[in-house]
A = this chain, B = another copy of it.
Amino acid sequence: MPVYEAPIRDMQFLLHDVLKLQNYSNLPGFADADKDTIDAFLEESGKWHRDVLAPLNRVGDLEGARRNDDGSVTTPTGFKDAYKQFCENGFGSLAMDPEYGGQGLPVTLAYAINEMSSAANQAFAMYPGLSAGAWRAIHAAASDEQKQKYLPKMTSGEWTGTMNLTEPQCGTDLGLIRTKAVPQGDGTYKISGQKIWISAGEHDMADNIIHLVLARIEGAPEGIKGISLFIVPKFMVGDDGSLGERNGVSCGGLEEKMGIHGNATCVMNYDEATGFLVGEENKGMRAMFIMMNEARLGVGMQGYAAAEVAMQNAAAFARDRLQSRSVTGVKAPDKPADPIIVHPDVRRMLMDTRAFVEGARALTYWAALHEDMSHKAPDEADRQKSNDYMALLTPVIKAYLTDKGSKGANDSLQVFGGSGYCEEWGMSQFVRDVRIALIYEGTNGIQALDLVGRKLMAEGGRYWQTFFAEIDQWCADNKGTNDDLDAYIEKLLAAKGELTEATQWLGANAMANFDNAGAASTDYLHLFGIVALGYMWAMMTKEALEHEGSGDPFYKNKLITAKYFFDRVIVESSVHLAKVKTGTSTMMELDAEAF
């Protein structure tokens, strides 16, 4: 069975050396997260995820969530107890608002813990993960009364939350929503309709489930401008917080999925369920986007977290499995064959994944710090810059990190050879589970459109201009300190030059025919992802060089992986630029019927 060891050393490197959280003690909550506190927390959390949560991963895959005849849903053996521990350990409430019982610690730290949960058990991690998304939407958009009513129990984890967007006829295009809301005259609404693919829509781990539901109030405008957001609790909640009668919402079925079997993916039927409007009528999309944007960062994390755990197991297998001799001479003369980790092509798969995962982790934590800054920085300009960066990088993190994370999990399976294809080794599950991350919270194609269609154009291009200028500035500031770093800076600037050229190409060609932007979008996003990871690798190289003298082999290994990234990964940029520039004509010429 696969194992998981949280990469604590790498997390420490990022939080302490690269991002230097200790320098942000002026921000609320950061002073409570000093180095020793963080280290102790990572250590304890790592143990729990290794010993308790990871062993339940395969259980979840085999048993799956099961719907009972009465519509209730039973989670896999051990999930309920693990969830109780998860809440007691405070893993879910780390960065939540202290006003509602949260710990108010940095989001950046919460991301490290979330990564552990996702790597150890993606299907499990989605229960608190989705709940946190609902929490954020309520926190951002609901009334004080609603917040007081729902948030404390969602913070403690006694209640969980869901997001109800999709219907059979609409996924990406939420303007097509049909679920209707009928005002009752007492401030409440009756919600009726069917939602599908609702993760954690029904389960047995919490006392109540707070559904956030997008619906159309009778007489509302057509399309996206007539969508409102409602709170629909599974059990009605009294003013004293007590649970009342069951609301008219139920789970009509579970999907049979490729993976994440342990998570209940529900058909949710709303049958005149009582709902409470969140925010204003017809402004539901705004709150939903808050939730979705932060959820997208979490999905990106799922991508590299799956690659991390799969890679750990692939490396262990490659050290253990004896097969053939090294072509450069016998390496294990006392054994019947050499361990396969001596073969370069096995290394290639491990190193590709490693260079990706470490860069992806850096980018995700870097974004998380900007999430902290966007809320907590005292200076408005800093908050705005962080907001810009979050907006710009969210689609890149969601799509690039899941595309490459899926590849990393697949390559790790490949290291196992035939064993990788046999379910008992657990590698198939990593590949099957992570596959959904390329789809949900907006497919990766939608992320690419969001990047080229919205984020590049927003505020006259301010987001990307600021980000590109930051890279330039960093490179200028750090040039000339070390030969290796200089060489990497040169490669980073070359890739950034290609990204700039691609951005200019879009500027020149998208207006004439916006299909040019669509045709270029995924390659543009990948090019962006490569440059963003290159920036992270440059920053990591700088820190590793500064600490190399400490004798800690961690830094030497970091530099080896950095070299791999700049030798073999960043070179992928040019092909994406070439594809960006091919435009729409090639892509759209074939008749739809000719396929």
Chain A, interface size category, equals: 35 or more
CA distance A115 to B422 in the complex (A): 25
Cβ contact within 8 Å between B345 and A518: yes
Cβ contact within 8 Å between B571 and A348: no
Which chain B residues lie closer than 8 Å to A515 at the CB level? Answer: 326-328, 344
Q: Which residue from B347, B453, B584, B589 sits with its C-beta under 8 Å from A587? A: B347
Least Cβ–Cβ distance between A208 and chain B, in angstroms: 26
Contact with B along A403-418 (1 / 0, CB 8 A): 0001000100110011
CA distance A55 to B440 in the complex (A): 29
Cβ contact within 8 Å between A345 and B445: yes
Interface membership of A330, Cβ < 8 A: no
SS class of chain A's interface: helix, strand, loop or mixed?
Answer: helix
Which chain B residues lie closer than 8 Å to A534 at the CB level? Answer: none
Given contacts A344-B515, A574-B575, contact A582 B561 (CB under 8 A): no
Cβ contact within 8 Å between A522 and B348: yes
Q: Which residue from B257, B324, B522 sits with its C-beta under 8 Å from A172? A: B324
Q: Which residue from B169, B354, B421, B439 sits with its C-beta under 8 Å from A420? A: B439
CA distance A216 to B172 in the complex (A): 60
Cβ contact within 8 Å between A421 and B561: no
Q: Which of A70-78, A96-104, A127-135, A430-438 contacts B (4 or more CB under 8 A)?
A: A430-438
Cβ contact within 8 Å between B595 and A449: no
Cβ contact within 8 Å between A417 and B582: no
CA distance A453 to B343 in the complex (A): 13
Interface membership of A34, Cβ < 8 A: no
Interface membership of A586, Cβ < 8 A: yes
Least Cβ–Cβ distance between A542 and chain B, in angstroms: 19
Cβ contact within 8 Å between A319 and B420: no
Chain A residues packing against B (C-beta within 8 Å) = 166, 169-173, 176, 197, 255-259, 311-312, 315, 318-319, 322-324, 326-328, 336-337, 339, 341-351, 354, 406, 410, 413-414, 417-418, 420-424, 428, 431-432, 435-436, 438-440, 443-445, 448-449, 453, 513-515, 517-519, 521-522, 553, 557, 560-561, 563-564, 567-568, 571-572, 574-575, 578-579, 582, 584, 586-595
